[in-house]
Structure 1
Amino acid sequence: MTRTATTDEWGIDASWLDALDEEHTVPQATIDRLREVIGTPPDDLDERAPIVALPGDVLELDEAEVTLEDGSTRHVDGELDDDFPLGYHWIQAPGGHRRRLIVTPGRCWLPDRTWGWAVQLYAARSRASWGIGDLADLRSIREMAAAQGAGFVLINPLHAVAPTPEQEASPYLPATRRFRNPIYLRVSEVPGAHAVELDEDAGRALSDGELIDRDAVWARKRAVLRRVFDATGRDDQAFPDWWWHQGQKLQDWATWCAIADEHGPDWHTWPEALRDPRSEEVGRFVADHERDVAFHAWLQWCLQLQLERATEGMTVIQDLPIGVAGGGADAWTWQDVLAQGVSVGAPPDAFNSQGQDWGSPPLVPWRLRAADYEPFIESIRATMAGAGGLRIDHVMGLFRLWWVPSAGPGVSGGAADGAYVRYPAEDLLGIVALESHRAQALVVGEDLGTVEDGVREAMAEHGVLSYRLLWFEDDEPATWPTEAMAAISTHDLPTVAGLWTGADIAEQREHGTGTDEELERGRTELLGRLRGVKKKAKPETAVRKAHEALATAPSLLLSATLEDAVADERRPNMPGAADRPNWSLPLPVLVDDLPQHELLQTVARTLADGVSGGSPA
């Protein structure tokens, strides 16, 4: 996709090309509205904003003093030495502003070639689960994967949602991208669980339903967890020590949770005095609700302990959503950096003639620079922390995002009335590379759909792995790039069994996600990628053949979903099907039984042989 649009000083593209290379002009009313939302950056922003550079780079400054992270200082004279330390420093030229200097290696850490499982953790229930897959179940999957010779597990976002009774089902609309969802705790394994009556039978009974009932699961888990905390939460000195080292960011999260418990999950509806995180009223609230704030911080400590056990010895690639809920904790903390009255989405395309509105407020590019990129850095670092891998959802958002303004004069409020807004991609990729280098964590960019020219080239330059799917690629897997994660499907696309049996298209018809002609054409196109499968073959045969094809890909990472490996006919999420229980379908095989599942073991051997260079099974 060639960039032909003229980008104004607000970063707004005046036109855009669709998947058919047809150019569309953005209405002037949309541009005017977005300019109003973005605002005008200060005249001296370019003199104050961070400098992102590589060792050896020539700087825009002449002589300057740099205060390094370790407190030492270095003098620079127009350029950085080739051995200049990587990290987040401060630079100041005589008479100039003190600015952040971010020195990056430029390329992400790359893994050895391997294969692994893609897991919707909430769906991966065991006999010990309380209605939802949890971190102990992740530990079991990791142990199975290690025994099979896998090198990674890719999981859905584990980020926290509001702790209120009505739980957000989508993992891609969290309240924060810095903290995790306590619904994933294995209650019996939290510190102090022995001190209270857990009633494990009542917890396990939550798994009896056909769907995952997050509201019921959270109500049960929260009640028991609070009893554990009240009985033992301050007994272990490790918790307050850990809490103190987390600093203001955890204090803000725990405070937001405690206020949300009392006033609801959208900070815009709170009493006005509580809408400012630094207000005196918020301080008084914390003093009056000290125990409640501590409880929410304690939950994060428990999550940290269980995640460490779950991921021990293996790369667990965590997913970074494109944004957060507009009423959530990150939006409350960073409300001066996020755009108000606008959300992120996608323009109209062949699959959705009205476009898409994903509901997350975007970061204002110039305000992000003025904030020293801290909101972006914290989100990347927290998601990457301790697990060895990061998948960036809609990685094109590092370059540009489709902004959808709310209804107003000349603007309908629909996704079709949006426009692309540009971001400082080179700086953001440099930060990703630095965080990857420090955490020794691989990075995958979800670059599916319409990708403009230059995006994949920039990803390759920075060591961000591309994402290649059998369902999307016209070429044989054997021709796919090396620096990529190769897979068959994603959570938004049909499973092999669902495609093969026709169950997926039947469900799409039921939910009206397209015309019969569109759905049939789409199914026929995907079936054409399953070569060598006889028409009357069983779905298990189609699954096996698909993974034999995938195993020929030379890509660094080969990924198979658990849904495909157990021949599940239902995909986790069906975009556009609002009346479907998306993100709430349990895996039809319990985690305990996965190691004995014949088809799953066949898929594992096939990918392992592909990585080792042997003949696919």
Structure 2
Amino acid sequence: MSVNHDLSALADLCGILPSFYGLNGGERVTSPETQRALLAANGIDVSNDDAIRASLHALRHEVDDRWFPQEVIVESGVETPQEFGLGAEWDIRLDGSDEIIVSGEPRDYITIPPLASGIYTLTASASGRTEIITVLAAPRRLPDIATLTGRDTLWGTTIALYGVRSGRNTGLGDFEDLAQLGEVFAKQGAGFIGVNPLHTMGYCDRAAISPYSPSHRGFLNTTYIALDHVPGLDVAPDLTEFAQTCSADTVQYQAHKDAHSTALETLFKTFKTSGDNAAKSAFAKFRTDGGPDLANFAKFEALSELHGTDWRAWPDKPTSPKKTRIEFHMWLQWVAATQLAQAQGRAKAADMSLGLYLDLAVGSRRDGAESWCEQDAVATGVSIGAPPDHLSPEGQNWDLAAFAPRKLTALRYAPLRRILAQTMRHAGIIRIDHVLGLNRSFWIPDDGSAGAYIRQPFESLLAVIKIEAERHSCAVIGEDLGLVPDGFRDMMRDHGFYGYSVLQYEKDDHGAFRDPQHLPSQVLSCFATHDTPTVKGYEIGRDIDWWEKLSWVDEHAAQRMHDDRKGEVASLSDGADFRSDIHNRLASSSADLVAVQLDDILGEVEAQNLPGTIDQHPNWRRKYDVTLENLGGDARLIATSQMMNAAGRGATPRKVDT
């Protein structure tokens, strides 16, 4: 038997797809080189022919030798008979606890009693042999907006928080701005306010600015801390140091971070000496509740100050940071979490039905805190990316870390559970970026071999998400753009996910725009995203101009694209007011949720991001022209909200039957 046959068998056992179909419908076969790279990323020894055969034998033995399944998924609150037992004595504990919840006498078949939503371990012993089974008890569906809010339809806005101008911020929007924005939009009848991912970018990192390339998704970006609203302190920052960052037309990340970090250092010292006792007690509780995960993250941040932001270049035995620096980074997370919780609380208090709509990035940077803290779960030598699709015809390498399925399963999904909890605890609804990655993930090896798909423990990941969403009373949107397998969207709807419908991509097989009143209802509908042209940019073909400017298309192709765009614009509008016509299409759509970008309310031309570029386009840097103080009275916002509310999307709740 050839080694390539064994390699393919090993790849199949580990969920590596033998092929996939690309953008143009052609089949792309996974090469032996790619199989080796992806297997190694999962911790499988494929260093030589003998190692491949030994790994295959060991993996087959691991599967065949078990008497009981490795894990089972049950519906929470429902008694569930299993097809295994073998006369075993058994008990069930909540994962991470030694307390036995229930135990059972030896029977041929085990019946799992009704369990509250959560993850458990079932220990079964028979004939001198003991095995542990992971039990995922999940609700049948995710929470829906009707249950959460008493409304069937809602509208809201999405905002680039970093780009918000206000008379009190320091040149970059902050959590206090977010709280005030929630109150402004709540008065206009909006049911939610969405922002870019708020994950930490790394305290010491001055280069990373894309919120979709965070250092750790389980902790917050402390650059958004409002210096004048630190809990336990009654001080106002000196804005002299921020004169340049406040007056600049674009966000000046490095200059802002330097001045902001200096101010935070001073505030921490003040807090230590004169912070009020209630705040100090709250901080102490936060540290205790955060446990080893918070301590480990704070240690990473402190080590970064000593050895640089890329942990892969650290010495084997790095110098230990001082305890006060670890405490400082814990304090930063407490301040950020407190301010974000207050933003959500103020939005809900202002009758915003869902409040914050937060974004969960698809992964973290490979040099960042998450890949260091979760080394036992992260795949090595690969990056998450995407094959060519209509969003990026050249394909994308995001240089993001991936969780290895085998490793994550062995940890009972604890790293993912922590990340989900962080995003959901301060939100009424979240969006999971590139939700297709729950089913299969596109990995690109570092060795130069072609990328390929690897299957994920799909049903288990869905169960984990449903468990956390129920715990935090949070609805979930799955961003399902791009190449999606047949039936995938319907399956996700069955689990309670809201889909993601971008009107500029909603076309039929003949290229005509679909009637928005005939779209699926269980979706969030919008016209544009941070990665697409704005309404105004679409109307004038600004994205096409950029493609030509960057030599992605030549002059003749650009002209053809402009001609096509004019026809598309004409089919979407009667020509009087394109923006108003688009927003009217959204308001009258069949979607349960409608999101309008603040960029489009204000008529911005440039997109927040142009995929495939870094510095050629002002990605993640553009500030809004209107200040927060003037936004509530802006005629464009008022007109948009009146249109949405007239269509029955206002957030005033109806009475929920109890």
Partner Cα distance (1:149, 1:82) in 2: 44
The amino acid of 1:359's aligned partner reads D
Q: 1:65·1:74 contact (CA, 8 Å) conserved in 2?
A: yes
- The alpha-carbon deviation at position 133 of structure 1 amounts to 0.8
Superposed counterparts of 1:112-151, under 5 Å: 112=146, 113-151=153-191
Corresponding residue of 1:403: 443
The amino acid of 2:594's aligned partner reads L
- The alpha-carbon deviation at position 376 of structure 1 amounts to 1.3
Corresponding residue of 2:102: 74
2:531 to 482, 486, 492: 492
1:447 to 466, 472, 480: 480
Q: Does 1:16 align with 2:20?
A: yes
Q: 1:68·1:88 contact (CA, 8 Å) conserved in 2?
A: yes
CA deviations 1:261-317 (Å, max 9, x no partner) are: 11111111111124xxxxxx6xxx14xx11111111101111111111111114211
Partner Cα distance (2:431, 2:161) in 1: 15
Q: Does 1:202 align with 2:241?
A: yes
Corresponding residue of 2:73: 52
- The alpha-carbon deviation at position 323 of structure 1 amounts to 0.5
Corresponding residue of 2:140: 106
Superposed counterparts of 1:161-200, under 5 Å: 161-164=201-204, 166-194=206-234, 198-200=237-239
SS class of match (2:262): helix
Provide closer, same or farther for how the CA distance between residues 151 and 526 of structure 1 changes in structure 2, counting only shifts above 3 A. farther
Provide closer, same or farther for how the CA distance between residues 103 and 546 of structure 1 changes in structure 2, counting only shifts above 3 A. same
SS class of match (2:218): coil
- The alpha-carbon deviation at position 514 of structure 1 amounts to 3.7
TM-score when scaled to structure 2?
0.84
Corresponding residue of 1:91: 122
- The alpha-carbon deviation at position 343 of structure 1 amounts to 0.3
Corresponding residue of 1:476: 515
Corresponding residue of 2:265: 226
The amino acid of 1:73's aligned partner reads I
Partner Cα distance (1:418, 1:505) in 2: 28
Partner Cα distance (1:368, 1:522) in 2: 45
The amino acid of 1:377's aligned partner reads R
SS class of match (1:66): strand
Q: 2:37·2:381 contact (CA, 8 Å) conserved in 1?
A: no
- The alpha-carbon deviation at position 167 of structure 1 amounts to 4.0
Q: 1:401·1:420 contact (CA, 8 Å) conserved in 2?
A: yes
Q: Does 1:555 align with 2:578?
A: no
The amino acid of 1:53's aligned partner reads V
- Structure 1, 342-351 or 577-586: larger mean CA deviation: 342-351
1:591 to 615, 623, 628: 628
Which has the greater radius of gyration? 2
Partner Cα distance (1:202, 1:401) in 2: 44
- The alpha-carbon deviation at position 526 of structure 1 amounts to 5.5
Partner Cα distance (2:406, 2:557) in 1: 41
Provide closer, same or farther for how the CA distance between residues 224 and 39 of structure 1 changes in structure 2, counting only shifts above 3 A. closer
Corresponding residue of 1:506: 545
Partner Cα distance (2:205, 2:650) in 1: 51
Q: 2:644·2:650 contact (CA, 8 Å) conserved in 1?
A: no
- The alpha-carbon deviation at position 142 of structure 1 amounts to 0.3
The amino acid of 2:428's aligned partner reads G
Superposed counterparts of 1:350-361, under 5 Å: 352-361=392-401
SS class of match (1:434): helix
Corresponding residue of 1:277: none
CA deviations 1:426-445 (Å, max 9, x no partner) are: 11011111111111100000
CA deviations 1:127-157 (Å, max 9, x no partner) are: 2111111111111110011101111111110
Partner Cα distance (2:117, 2:142) in 1: 13
Provide closer, same or farther for how the CA distance between residues 449 and 515 of structure 1 changes in structure 2, counting only shifts above 3 A. farther
1:26 to 24, 30, 41: 30
Partner Cα distance (1:511, 1:472) in 2: 23
Corresponding residue of 1:257: 301
SS class of match (2:184): helix
Partner Cα distance (1:530, 1:591) in 2: 34
SS class of match (2:532): coil
- The alpha-carbon deviation at position 11 of structure 1 amounts to 1.1
Superposed counterparts of 1:528-539, under 5 Å: 528=568, 531=571, 533-535=573-575, 537=576
Kindly, what percent of the aligned residue pairs are identical?
29
Q: After the TM superposition, which parts of structure 1 deviate over 6 Å for at least 4 consecutive aligned residues?
A: none
- The alpha-carbon deviation at position 488 of structure 1 amounts to 0.6
Q: Does 1:608 align with 2:645?
A: yes
Q: 2:19·2:30 contact (CA, 8 Å) conserved in 1?
A: yes
Provide closer, same or farther for how the CA distance between residues 299 and 530 of structure 1 changes in structure 2, counting only shifts above 3 A. farther
Superposed counterparts of 1:457-476, under 5 Å: 457-474=490-507, 475-476=514-515
- The alpha-carbon deviation at position 372 of structure 1 amounts to 1.0
CA deviations 1:24-80 (Å, max 9, x no partner) are: 222222222222332448554775844332134443532532124784522466465
Q: 1:174·1:325 contact (CA, 8 Å) conserved in 2?
A: yes
SS class of match (2:12): coil
Q: 2:154·2:650 contact (CA, 8 Å) conserved in 1?
A: no
- The alpha-carbon deviation at position 350 of structure 1 amounts to 5.2
The amino acid of 1:603's aligned partner reads T
- The alpha-carbon deviation at position 182 of structure 1 amounts to 0.6
- The alpha-carbon deviation at position 244 of structure 1 amounts to 1.4
Partner Cα distance (1:265, 1:61) in 2: 49
Q: Does 1:247 align with 2:291?
A: yes
Corresponding residue of 2:4: none
Q: 1:430·1:462 contact (CA, 8 Å) conserved in 2?
A: no
CA deviations 1:338-378 (Å, max 9, x no partner) are: 11111011113456454210001211111111111111111
SS class of match (1:359): strand
Q: 1:61·1:93 contact (CA, 8 Å) conserved in 2?
A: no
Q: 1:511·1:577 contact (CA, 8 Å) conserved in 2?
A: no
- Structure 1, 248-257 or 72-81: larger mean CA deviation: 72-81
Provide closer, same or farther for how the CA distance between residues 524 and 60 of structure 1 changes in structure 2, counting only shifts above 3 A. farther
Corresponding residue of 2:281: 237
Partner Cα distance (1:458, 1:104) in 2: 16
- The alpha-carbon deviation at position 110 of structure 1 amounts to 0.5
Corresponding residue of 1:278: none
Q: Does 1:214 align with 2:253?
A: yes
The amino acid of 2:84's aligned partner reads L
- The alpha-carbon deviation at position 164 of structure 1 amounts to 1.3
Provide closer, same or farther for how the CA distance between residues 392 and 526 of structure 1 changes in structure 2, counting only shifts above 3 A. farther
TM-score when scaled to structure 1?
0.90
How many residue pairs align between the two structures? 587
Q: 1:357·1:404 contact (CA, 8 Å) conserved in 2?
A: yes
